[in-house]
Structure 1
Amino acid sequence: MSDNTNEILPNEGGENEPQNRIVAVNIEEQMKSAYIDYSMSVIVGRALPDVRDGLKPVHRRVLYAMNELSMAHNKPHKKSARVVGEVLGKYHPHGDSSVYDAMVRMAQPWSMRYMMVDGQGNFGSQDGDGPAAMRYTEVRMQRYAESMIEDIEKETVDFGLNFDDSLEEPTVLPTRIPQLLVNGSSGIAVGMATNIMPHNLTEVINGCIAYIENKEITIDELMHYVKAPDFPTGGIIYGIDGIKQGFQTGRGRVVLRGRVTVETLKNGKDQIVITEVPYQVSRDALAEKIGYLVNNKIIDGITHVANESNKEGTRVVVELRRDAVAQVIINQLYKYSELQTSYGINNVALVKGRPRTLNLKDMISEFVAFRHEVVTKRTQYELREAEKRAHILEGYMKVVGTQNDLDRAIKIIRESKTPDEAREGLMTSFDLSEIQAKAILELRLRTLTGLEIDKIRSEYDELMKTINHLKGILADESIRFDIIKGELLEVQKKFGDERRTEIQYASGDMRIEDMIAEEDVVITISHLGYIKRASVADYRSQKRGGRGAMGGKTRDEDYLEHLFIASTHDTLLFFTEKGRCYWLKVYEIPETDKNAKGRAIQNLMQIPQDDKIRVILDVPKLDDEAFVDKHNIVLCTKKGIIKKTKLKEFSRPRQTGVNAITINEGDQLLDVALTDGESFIMMAIKSGRAISFNEDRVRATGRGAIGVSGIELEGESDAVVGMICLSKDFKDRDRQVLVVSEKGLGKRTPFFELIGEEATDEDKEKAFTLKNEDGSESLYQLSYRITNRGGKGVKTMNITDKTGPLAGLLSVTQADDLMITCQSGLTIRMKVESVREAGRATQGVKLINIDNKDQIAAIARIQDQGEEEEIIEEGDVVVSTDPEGTNPTATEEQTPDANNEETPDTTPDAPAAE
């Protein structure tokens, strides 16, 4: 087959020329030329948005046609078919479905982050339903779209001929909104594609203003303003590394998850409720996919799936079997269904008519440059119009300035035979331009009155001020950028809103803490496993003896079990009763007010239903290798077992947790502490005894070990109630031992006691030397003598029927606060210094009034926050208070020991036992 094509043309020459003329054309070159023309037509005229207004030609034409039809937001709706016909007939040489589909998408709140078209009628649904035909629906512009087309009549943008050269259409809209970033765009051209994510308008405008103020701003600095995409359907962005890459290079990846909650039904079963689905995911299709996964045994544990979504919002319910772990099912849904979807970032747009891949700064800088061009052209237009009007007013004032001039002008006009003759006469007599003379001839007679002449002079004066102002704008670039900033802030005020898409940082993201404000928060966990964090300020300080305020709303069978203070940058190690350890960053815990119930821990960690959290350990520097190497984890159980493991073995978080200690049958983990390798360990039991020994008496073992005996118990009913570990460092020198009984009595006893010069030689011989902060050394003795582990210990509280068994043990300082929580949910916060010091063998004083059926559930130490005691205001949930500490009931119930009369310890110290 030949590569050439023969073209036969009619003979146009004389007799000497051949009858036919053959032109040889290379088919490869012809195909290449034709394909390039076609591809450029698709790239420029159909598939890619313009970097300036962020619109493709079809969207631009729809908005321009609606503007020409006066379809503003405050005007009546008009049939969609009328707009489609206008666009097709005048500007868009393609099918009607392409125009209508584009317009429909602009009116769908689940497709556009900020809608440009206000639709009336059936425009489809998020379940994948299509819109009604164009003859049934009606549209008009949103106020948002009007801000994109504003000032188009002021020669701010270039116009070009339409497809048949009969009309003109704008090549770009003079938008005040950074549309390309805000609403994004997607399209497939020839040999290239674009996929730009939508973003939050408030964040994008803040980024634009930051760029205007500092043109040398880096992309990392811009990311402090524009944090991540913001999708119209909400959801949760998982991980920021792909987003950061997209901002830096124009190509990246976004992982988006639907928002889920776990609800517990009355029958005890859990159900997963999906309240937000990823962008462009059909809710019906998602429900069908989950059903497919269940039917094909890919996911086990789901009994029923239903799409209960309506106009109020999304609700896809996934019911679980009783033995199913909700978080495990959620993770499987993320893996196998569209509940987790990834989107490729490909920021390709037309820059000066050429496709280009853009990073975040490129898109912002191109938009700002375009706005500067629009403001400049608008100012130039307004200056031209103002000068034209001033020129006419100058002519008016020449003619009607005085009565003689006016009479002379009237005489010239009356004596002229034609308008042209009158115009020439005025131009000659008053030195007027042709424009001025024409304007005077068109004056109405009422303009010749004295009042109207004064208005002309006043208008001229104001016009000259405007002209000077406009010239000042054109002469000073900084003024133009100030105008741009002002207009952006106005747009932000009109249309800005909060983020819909939450950003959740994946474990691989680097330095997430840099983007999280560091502050102390109160962490509470209920008996049934609901966790939350709240501001420390929400818990006001009260006097000792008060009734307390509710620390959290719980179900009838639930109560607050754990309460402590942690920094948002800390890592929490969760230890369960069965000896498993799980990890969670503090900032990952849902933040609520103190009266909220919180969120089920199963939603945050994969904890089996037959296990529960027992101890939470706050570790401030789990990623610091030097810190990890120096510290240990000490664990104790209810049956008196003690174990020590290097912190390094807990420094690599695993989603499924690790085994921290092997628990014997009938025993369970009770307490955990972080130590520096040279601490004193103290354990207390219900019967009122406590034992103290050096940490080095417990050798370090692996995570799977059982441990060794720590203290001897008194019978089967006895159990360990608490453990404290005190460092030999001078920072722990002022710490005291605080014990509380189940019936609300408590006291504090110094652990370290300084030995003075007056001490006997026998006391000095028993004492030990510790270094002070200044490097000097001092002699100390312990109120609880050091023994070997495994012994009986010494009395730490005189247990009676009035005190009840020992409930808790803490190490505190006088600057701390004490938080006491009852099983009923009642919580009181008090100053530790209000708790009287007493000997280790006394009963203590009344700390909180509780009902006969209630008892202390947990005690927690709150480090000094520097806050003053607040007056209890009306409306606070407080049953009673005792501001002076003189509650009559408390006084009557106090024993002689509570009045600071110590009861001597008549029981001899237990012998040390190995």
Structure 2
Amino acid sequence: MSDMFNTPQATETLSIKEYAEKAYLDYSMYVILDRALPHVGDGLKPVQRRIVYAMSELGLKSSAKYKKSARTVGDVIGKFHPHGDSAAYEAMVLMAQDFSYRHPLVDGQGNWGSADDPKSFAAMRYTESKLTKYADVLLGELGQGTVDWQPNFDGSLDEPVVLPAQVPNLLLNGTTGIAVGMATDIPPHNLREVVNATIHLLDYPDATVDALCGHIQAPDFPTDAEITTSPEEVRDIYRTGRGSIKMRAAWQREDGAVVLNALPYQVSGSKVLEQIAAQMQAKKLPMVSDLRDESDHENPTRLVIVPRSNRVDLDAMMSHLFATTDLERSYRVNLNVIGMNGRPGVRSLDQLLRDWVQFRRQTVRRRLEYRLEKVLKRLHILEGYLVAYLNIDEVIRIIREEDEPKAELMARFALSDIQADAILDLKLRNLAKLEEMKIRGEQSDLSDERDGLEKTLSSNALMTKLIRGELVDIAHEYGDDRRSHLVQVEEAKAFSELELTSADPMTVVVSEKGWIRAARGHDIDPETLNYKSGDAFKFAALGRSNQTTVVFDSTGRAYSIPTHQLPSARGQGEPLTGRISPPSGATFEGLMTGTEHQKFLLASDAGYGFVAKFSDLVAKNKAGKAVLSLPKGAQVMPPVAVPERQNLLVAAATTEGRLLIYPLADLPELAKGKGNKIIGIPTARAQSREELLVGLLVFGDDDILQVNSGRQHLKLRLSDLEHYRGERGRRGNRLPKGFQKVSGLVIAQ
């Protein structure tokens, strides 16, 4: 006894690293193969397959009565799937929701959730269920030797390794799953399209993805929302097995309002309304006045968005909502499945369908071989019955009188063991029914069936024809029209902050010390505003609250500030340096507001300049952007607004009393730079600042040009201007005596 206890036991020594690696890899393979990823054959994950099989074992076919869902879940977790009941029930609920599955497998009675809240289903003790008719496509051939079987978790029962699906259910219903280190996201598709593509692959085994896409346009979700992904992108997804599909809600105009009648896949209408309402409360949707949810039984989705007026651009408003709410969603596509080789992998569309066709060929071959074996066994038995019929009196005598009737029958009539058992198993009343014509008729029918089966099994063409015919029948019975239509639309674009701001008239004011503020209205006299001690008015610009204000500094840089963000003119404003970051020592020399297409004439007092669009002056950061390059010693002139008129002229005056007038079109339109010569000032005189550009104006040929020189004013009409007209860049002609020191040019009122 003591020796037994002292015998050393065999042990295996493993390092923690090796043990941890092995344990994690084993767990990973379990999750990948037995939990998260679907099989290409039936398109189901293990829990889904076990639910469908358990329901069929309970007799819950589509023609049966409903049974409590708790009964089904109990069978699933007790016999096949040793996991939580809530996980099994949720998987079952998903297969019953017609807004989640393109072709539901479970027919539910009771509360199974709604498209608005898929998780609102009742507990399994309240709901009842059975299989749908479509489930027959997965189960119809199960008992015909078509698939392999495996022991359940405790070895007490057998369960199918995969169901003998008669269509590519993997693509029809799609699935999602997260494994270890990999995931799958397969969208649902239209049955008719998938069957047509499969038939095409049967006829042309080398068919490309492009050829198959001639039949499968795109995924087909269980919603009438629109797929906006381009056909080229869809084909790329099917080629690589990865990508994303974009969907947006379907809407229409109705009495000036927007009516949403279909939402993207798995999008909640109440959540969309919450998102829109939140934007309205944040004053980011000033064009919307009301929201209504008018959904009912006849219209499961009917959301109404009422604009504030009939002038609202509904297309632009919907584009903004598509970009900022769940009215447009992207769905990841990752065609990662367990293939016929038992390994997971991302596959292209043609690889998926080829794998399924291979699976279907194997399934049909096994079905035919199983049936052929049954036919041959029955023919063998019929041969024995025929012998019994022809010698019925002798057979009855042997059965009545012999001690070993089976052995005697086999010896007397050369019967096999099976034939003898079949004769002995006949009831007495059936002996009279053993009529020769009936036996020979059944023999003939079964012989014809045997010949047909053997012919099909030996011919690849006949096998293909059989599979094609069965696919056509299924498409005819279960197929329907596409629900998710493909549309070509522009990319959704959200409104900018400025576009959402009301267009109120504003007067922007900058003081000499660089303080800025904005007053509502255009009738403000900025000089009468209150300024800080030692400060005063410098310049102002008229614009609107939904426009941008651009400040021009002494170095030729432009800075942008949204007008609606400027402090009110009721106070004294705030320093510009708190909003922007100009170079040290720079001063502010210009102020502009306007639309993006409005133009301004920018110039230096050295006599160079160009015309710039307002959009080119808008900067994206606090440091601004360099716009006007200054010649040596030159300073910035205040920007001059260009009116939106025809036949505009430029008037330029220098400190020497010279005036030059020419068409504005002679100056270039640039985004930045030094520009061209506006008026001819000798370089040496400009650098020494002996002569400078002092007056600059853009006006029309019907305006009266006024030259200011101190308190004196000279008004020049069209006829007076001819003396000063010349080519751009010339010196210009001298003004009359008394106007040698020009202080500015304005348009006379």
> TM class by shorter-chain length?
0.5 to 0.7
| 1:821-900 correspondence runs (5 A) | none
How far is 1:239 from its partner? 2.3
Match of 1:353 among 342, 367, 371: 342
Go from structure 1 to structure 2 and tell me whether the alpha carbon gap of 1:303 and 1:11 turns closer, same or farther (over 3 Å shift): farther
Q: Which whole-Å deviations, capped at 9, do the CAs of 1:64-114 have from their partners, x for residues lacking one?
A: 111111111111111111111111111011010111111111111110111
State how far apart, in whole Å, the 2-side matches of 1:424 and 1:289 are.
85
Read off the aligned partner of 1:285 and give its amino acid letter: K
Contact 1:188–1:194 under 8 Å retained in 2: yes
Q: Does 1:408 align with 2:394?
A: yes
State how far apart, in whole Å, the 2-side matches of 1:214 and 1:430 are.
54
| 1:121-160 correspondence runs (5 A) | 121-128=110-117, 130-160=120-150
In structure 2, the partner of 1:688 is none
How far is 1:14 from its partner? 7.7
Q: Does 1:336 align with 2:324?
A: yes
Match of 1:466 among 449, 452, 458: 449
State how far apart, in whole Å, the 2-side matches of 1:335 and 1:51 are.
36
In structure 1, the partner of 2:215 is 225
In structure 2, the partner of 1:166 is 156
Go from structure 1 to structure 2 and tell me whether the alpha carbon gap of 1:385 and 1:451 turns closer, same or farther (over 3 Å shift): closer
State how far apart, in whole Å, the 2-side matches of 1:664 and 1:456 are.
105
Q: Which whole-Å deviations, capped at 9, do the CAs of 1:821-847 have from their partners, x for residues lacking one?
A: xxxxxxxxxxxxxxxxxxxxxxxxxxx
Read off the aligned partner of 2:397 and give its amino acid letter: K
Q: Which whole-Å deviations, capped at 9, do the CAs of 1:782-821 have from their partners, x for residues lacking one?
A: xxxxxxxxxxxxxxxxxxxxxxxxxxxxxxxxxxxxxxxx
Q: Which whole-Å deviations, capped at 9, do the CAs of 1:738-792 have from their partners, x for residues lacking one?
A: xxxxxxxxxxxxxxxxxxxxxxxxxxxxxxxxxxxxxxxxxxxxxxxxxxxxxxx
Q: 319-328 or 78-87, which moves further after superposition?
A: 319-328
Secondary structure of 2:435's counterpart equals helix
Match of 2:22 among 19, 29, 33: 33
Go from structure 1 to structure 2 and tell me whether the alpha carbon gap of 1:507 and 1:244 turns closer, same or farther (over 3 Å shift): farther
Contact 1:350–1:356 under 8 Å retained in 2: yes
In structure 2, the partner of 1:497 is 480
Secondary structure of 1:33's counterpart equals helix
State how far apart, in whole Å, the 2-side matches of 1:478 and 1:21 are.
59
Q: Does 1:119 align with 2:89?
A: no
How far is 1:457 from its partner? 1.6
In structure 1, the partner of 2:283 is 297
Secondary structure of 2:181's counterpart equals coil
State how far apart, in whole Å, the 1-side matches of 2:411 and 2:210 are.
68
Greater helix fraction, Structure 1 or Structure 2? 2
State how far apart, in whole Å, the 1-side matches of 2:238 and 2:319 are.
28
RMSD over aligned Cα, in angstroms?
A: 2.2
State how far apart, in whole Å, the 1-side matches of 2:189 and 2:644 are.
51
Read off the aligned partner of 1:249 and give its amino acid letter: T
How far is 1:399 from its partner? 2.2
- Residues matched between the structures, number: 491
Q: Does 1:476 align with 2:459?
A: yes
| 1:732-751 correspondence runs (5 A) | none
Match of 2:250 among 238, 253, 259: 259
How far is 1:13 from its partner? 6.8
How far is 1:367 from its partner? 1.2
How far is 1:450 from its partner? 6.8
Contact 1:299–1:332 under 8 Å retained in 2: no
In structure 1, the partner of 2:237 is 246
Gaps of 5+ in 1: 1-9, 265-269, 509-661, 666-703, 705-914
Q: Which whole-Å deviations, capped at 9, do the CAs of 1:704-748 have from their partners, x for residues lacking one?
A: 9xxxxxxxxxxxxxxxxxxxxxxxxxxxxxxxxxxxxxxxxxxxx
Go from structure 1 to structure 2 and tell me whether the alpha carbon gap of 1:378 and 1:24 turns closer, same or farther (over 3 Å shift): closer
Q: Does 1:284 align with 2:255?
A: no
How far is 1:397 from its partner? 1.0
Contact 1:301–1:321 under 8 Å retained in 2: yes
In structure 2, the partner of 1:395 is 384
Read off the aligned partner of 2:253 and give its amino acid letter: V
Q: Does 1:72 align with 2:58?
A: no
State how far apart, in whole Å, the 2-side matches of 1:274 and 1:215 are.
43
Q: Which whole-Å deviations, capped at 9, do the CAs of 1:630-664 have from their partners, x for residues lacking one?
A: xxxxxxxxxxxxxxxxxxxxxxxxxxxxxxxx999
Match of 1:314 among 281, 286, 301: 301
Secondary structure of 1:217's counterpart equals coil
In structure 1, the partner of 2:227 is 237
Contact 2:100–2:222 under 8 Å retained in 1: yes
Contact 2:209–2:235 under 8 Å retained in 1: no
In structure 2, the partner of 1:105 is 94
Match of 1:425 among 373, 392, 408: 408
How far is 1:54 from its partner? 0.3
How far is 1:21 from its partner? 8.7
In structure 2, the partner of 1:435 is 418
| 1:492-571 correspondence runs (5 A) | 492-506=475-489
Read off the aligned partner of 1:169 and give its amino acid letter: E
| 1:10-25 correspondence runs (5 A) | 24-25=13-14
| 1:622-771 correspondence runs (5 A) | none
Read off the aligned partner of 1:301 and give its amino acid letter: M
State how far apart, in whole Å, the 2-side matches of 1:48 and 1:24 are.
34
State how far apart, in whole Å, the 1-side matches of 2:253 and 2:645 are.
33
How far is 1:291 from its partner? 1.0
Structure 1 runs of 4+ off > 4 angstroms?
10-15, 20-24, 662-665
Contact 1:258–1:276 under 8 Å retained in 2: yes
Match of 1:59 among 37, 48, 71: 48
Read off the aligned partner of 1:261 and give its amino acid letter: Q
Read off the aligned partner of 1:330 and give its amino acid letter: M
State how far apart, in whole Å, the 1-side matches of 2:435 and 2:170 are.
50
Q: Which whole-Å deviations, capped at 9, do the CAs of 1:450-486 have from their partners, x for residues lacking one?
A: 7733211211111111111111111111111111111
Contact 1:11–1:21 under 8 Å retained in 2: no
State how far apart, in whole Å, the 1-side matches of 2:369 and 2:151 are.
24
Secondary structure of 2:291's counterpart equals strand
How far is 1:299 from its partner? 3.1
State how far apart, in whole Å, the 2-side matches of 1:191 and 1:377 are.
35
Contact 1:161–1:168 under 8 Å retained in 2: yes
In structure 1, the partner of 2:372 is 383
Task: Give TM-score scaled by structure 2 length.
Answer: 0.63
State how far apart, in whole Å, the 2-side matches of 1:12 and 1:220 are.
76
In structure 2, the partner of 1:453 is 436
In structure 2, the partner of 1:212 is 202
State how far apart, in whole Å, the 2-side matches of 1:331 and 1:96 are.
44
Task: Give TM-score scaled by structure 1 length.
Answer: 0.52
How far is 1:297 from its partner? 3.0
In structure 2, the partner of 1:84 is 73
Read off the aligned partner of 2:436 and give its amino acid letter: I
State how far apart, in whole Å, the 2-side matches of 1:21 and 1:663 are.
98
State how far apart, in whole Å, the 1-side matches of 2:29 and 2:466 are.
36
Match of 1:94 among 60, 83, 90: 83
Read off the aligned partner of 1:257 and give its amino acid letter: R
State how far apart, in whole Å, the 1-side matches of 2:337 and 2:3 are.
49
Read off the aligned partner of 2:137 and give its amino acid letter: S
Q: Which whole-Å deviations, capped at 9, do the CAs of 1:587-611 have from their partners, x for residues lacking one?
A: xxxxxxxxxxxxxxxxxxxxxxxxx
